[in-house]
């Protein structure tokens, strides 16, 4: 007979077993979810850091944070958002969705996959471990040498920062190998490369970008570690090192990194827009080809982050030209998305709202990017708040809006439940308003001469109003994200059941149950076109007749 005392004991065993299941899993879906949860937790942390900065800058001569704390906040905010929010969220979604989309049972190397995740998480934990070792790093997320040399950064915080990025970088590179192997080797029968869903195409390009962009960063980090710990002089100018070497190495990683976090968003909305406009993507080949072009060109533009360091006029012109050139393939994709909308029957569910938001915001960010690519303009704009506004339109208006679209789109597949429609709309509209109120005025304060990364500013230059608008916008964004978390929690408890295919979509992941069984598909489906479920739903007019 069961005694009352047995019940909590049994349930704690149950929790332990379930936890054990998660910790030891090599299932791509569980790892994907763990990546996404990691990204969301760090997103909240990075968001709080941003709000603290905005509180400090709400007035001139603000006294909320000390200079050192403020400098730590923007260093942690940037590092967190790039390496421990954008990357885990992207690889989480890719982890979950890519094998399903190509009709595979798992990633090519499931154990390596688990290794990658735990390395990424370890990197994030190590970064925040610096707080307990005497303070967070305060050298900025691009950590320009020689500010990072032991002479100028004596605490261990910078070493934590280096090790954190080194370790998570190993995980990222392993994931890239895993993803490319999966996509190249484990596709369902009949799924030629030309029939890959566009999100998978983008992730394939993404994986190759990671493979070529991350190693220079790893090398630079190791060199910096040698400088700091073993007395090497790579970046130590006094001893004959070079300050610019760091900048070249960092941005040779840093600019492709922008596309590493942007291409998946392109892929996401290339999936969402067709489904919610009820039309096949316009110009599949040119979307894929344009992305490959972006991938190549992105390795030839890094010095546009360095226009102000005193390059020669020839180099200025070359990097301006290469950077402007990226606008062409990017423009092609925007036109393709618009043409997909044209003549469609658009449903405005949350994934589509975020995708349309992405289109508007990303185009704006791309156009300010053209201004920054013009080297002389960059001499005024770089390192001012204009740049901060610009890259948030690209990375938040682009990547985060894309990730939100993905979240609303694939959540029913991951959990079997729908997210609330009303709350989703509130989330979108508040985020859109708050986003523009935050980052729009930043362009103005930049034009008025406000440099970035200053913890305080004096009255009298007309900067107050724009900073106050920015802070108010940031608070609105905070509220929007709180609604999002609420939506997630409500959906987990009592969300409407989704069924296998709630959006009436066309790619393979919607052919299996929600959530899918551990083995994904009972039988691996055979594929004849880019939209296998369209073929199934329209046997009279299948896609493969048109491709």
Partner 1 sequence: MSSKPGKFAITSPSGDRPWWGRWLLILPWVLTAAGTSYRVCGAAEELQTPPVRQTPDRLSTSVFDTVSPPADKIRDLIYLVTAIASVILLLVGGMLIYCIIRFRRRKTDRGEPPQLYGSQPIELAWTVGPLLTVFVLLMVVIRTVAETRRPEPSADAVRIRVVGHRWWWEFQYPDFPGLTTANEMHVPASVPGRERPIHLELESADVVHSFWVPRLAGKTDVVPGRTNLMWFQTAHTGSYRGQCAEYCGTQHANMLIRVVVDAPDEFEAWAAHQASLQQIDPEFAAGQGLFMNRTCVNCHAIRGTEAGGTVGPDLTHLATRKTLAAGTIDNTRKNLAVWLHDPQSIKPGCDMPSLRLTDQEVRDMAAFLESLK
Report in angstroms how near the CB of residue 45 gets to partner 1 at its nearest: 22
Of 118 and 425, which CB lies nearer to partner 1 in the complex structure? 425
Report in angstroms how near the CB of residue 381 gets to partner 1 at its nearest: 8
Of 44 and 371, which CB lies nearer to partner 1 in the complex structure? 371
Q: Which position has the token pair 């013009």?
A: 374
Entry field: residues in the chain: 547
Report in angstroms how near the CB of residue 68 gets to partner 1 at its nearest: 6
Of 299 and 335, which CB lies nearer to partner 1 in the complex structure? 335
Among 214, 294, 308, which residue's Cα sits nearest to residue 252? 214
Report in angstroms how near the CB of residue 46 gets to partner 1 at its nearest: 18
Report in angstroms how near the CB of residue 71 gets to partner 1 at its nearest: 6
Of 29 and 54, which CB lies nearer to partner 1 in the complex structure? 54
Helix (H), strand (E) at residue 531: none
Among 488, 298, 511, 290, which residue's Cα sits nearest to residue 407? 488
Burial label, 458 (beta-carbon count in 10 A; 0-12, 13-18, 19+): exposed
Q: Which position has the token pair 């658009």?
A: 346
- Between the two ends of the chain, the Cα-to-Cα distance in Å is 66
User: 343 CB contacts (<8 Å, ≥6 apart)?
Assistant: 279
Report in angstroms how near the CB of residue 241 gets to partner 1 at its nearest: 8
Of 144 and 212, which CB lies nearer to partner 1 in the complex structure? 144
Of 91 and 246, which CB lies nearer to partner 1 in the complex structure? 246
A 10 A CB-CB count for 230 gives 7
Of 69 and 218, which CB lies nearer to partner 1 in the complex structure? 69
Report in angstroms how near the CB of residue 58 gets to partner 1 at its nearest: 5
Rounded distance, CA 530 to CA 284, Å? 9
Of 258 and 306, which CB lies nearer to partner 1 in the complex structure? 306
Answer for the pair 139, 75: CB distance below 8 angstroms, yes or no: yes
Among 191, 185, 190, 99, which residue's Cα sits nearest to residue 520? 99
Report in angstroms how near the CB of residue 149 gets to partner 1 at its nearest: 8
Of 377 and 486, which CB lies nearer to partner 1 in the complex structure? 377
User: 2 CB contacts (<8 Å, ≥6 apart)?
Assistant: none
Report in angstroms how near the CB of residue 197 gets to partner 1 at its nearest: 15
Q: Which residues of 280-289 are buried (b: 16+ CB within 10 A; e: fewer)?
A: bbbbbebbbe
Handedness of CA 211, 257, 74, 92 (dihedral sign): negative
Q: Which residues of 437-447 are buried (b: 16+ CB within 10 A; e: fewer)?
A: bbbbbbbbbbe
């Amino acid at each position: 007979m069961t005694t009352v005392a047995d019940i909590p004991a049994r349930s704690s065993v149950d929790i332990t077993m379930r936890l054990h299941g998660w910790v030891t899993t090599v299932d791509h879906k569980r790892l994907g979810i763990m990546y996404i949860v990691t990204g969301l937790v760090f997103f909240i942390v990075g968001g709080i850091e941003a709000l603290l900065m905005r509180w400090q800058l709400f007035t001139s001569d603000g006294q909320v944070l000390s200079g050192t704390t403020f400098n730590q906040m923007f260093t942690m905010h940037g590092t967190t958002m790039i390496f421990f929010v954008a990357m885990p969220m992207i690889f989480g979604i890719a982890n979950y969705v890519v094998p399903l989309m190509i009709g595979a049972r798992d990633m090519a190397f499931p154990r390596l996959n688990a290794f990658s995740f735990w390395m990424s998480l370890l990197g994030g934990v190590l970064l925040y471990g610096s707080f307990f070792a005497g303070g967070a790093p305060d050298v900025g997320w691009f950590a320009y040498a020689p500010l990072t040399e032991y002479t100028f950064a004596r605490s261990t915080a910078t070493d934590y920062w280096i090790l954190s990025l080194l370790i998570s970088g190993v995980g990222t590179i392993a994931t890239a190998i895993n993803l490319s192997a999966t996509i190249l080797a484990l596709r369902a029968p009949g799924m030629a490369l030309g029939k890959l869903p566009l999100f998978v195409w983008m992730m394939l390009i993404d994986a190759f970008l990671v493979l070529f962009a991350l190693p220079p960063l790893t090398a630079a980090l190791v060199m910096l570690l040698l400088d700091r710990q073993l007395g090497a002089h790579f970046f130590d100018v006094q001893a004959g090192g070079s300050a610019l070497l760091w900048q070249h190495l960092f941005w040779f990683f840093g600019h492709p990194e922008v596309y590493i976090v942007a291409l998946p968003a392109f892929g996401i909305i290339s999936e969402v827009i067709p489904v919610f406009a009820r039309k096949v993507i316009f110009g599949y080949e040119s979307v894929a080809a344009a992305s490959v072009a972006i991938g190549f060109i992105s390795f030839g533009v890094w010095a546009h982050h360095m226009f102000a360091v005193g390059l020669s006029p020839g180099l200025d012109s070359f990097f301006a030209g290469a950077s402007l050139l990226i606008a062409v393939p990017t423009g092609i994709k925007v036109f393709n998305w618009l043409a997909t909308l044209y003549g469609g029957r658009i449903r405005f569910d949350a994934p589509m709202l975020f995708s349309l938001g992405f289109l508007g915001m990303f185009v704006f960010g791309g156009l300010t990017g053209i201004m920054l690519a013009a080297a002389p303009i960059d001499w005024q704009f770089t390192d001012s708040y204009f740049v901060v506004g610009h890259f948030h339109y690209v990375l938040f208006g682009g990547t985060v809006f894309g990730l939100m679209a993905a979240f609303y789109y694939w959540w029913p597949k991951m959990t079997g439940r729908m997210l609330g429609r009303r709350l989703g709309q509130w989330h979108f509209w508040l985020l859109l308003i708050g986003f523009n109120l935050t980052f729009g005025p930043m362009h103005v304060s930049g034009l008025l001469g406000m440099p970035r990364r200053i913890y305080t500013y004096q009255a009298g230059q007309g900067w107050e109003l724009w900073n106050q608008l920015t802070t108010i916008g940031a608070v609105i964004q905070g509220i929007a994200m709180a609604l999002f978390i609420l939506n997630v929690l409500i959906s987990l408890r009592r969300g409407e059941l989704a069924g296998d295919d709630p959006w009436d979509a066309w790619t393979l992941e919607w052919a299996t149950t929600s959530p899918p069984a551990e083995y994904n598909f009972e039988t691996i489906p055979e594929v004849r076109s880019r939209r296998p479920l369209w073929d199934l739903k329209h046997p009279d007019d299948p896609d493969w007749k048109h491709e």
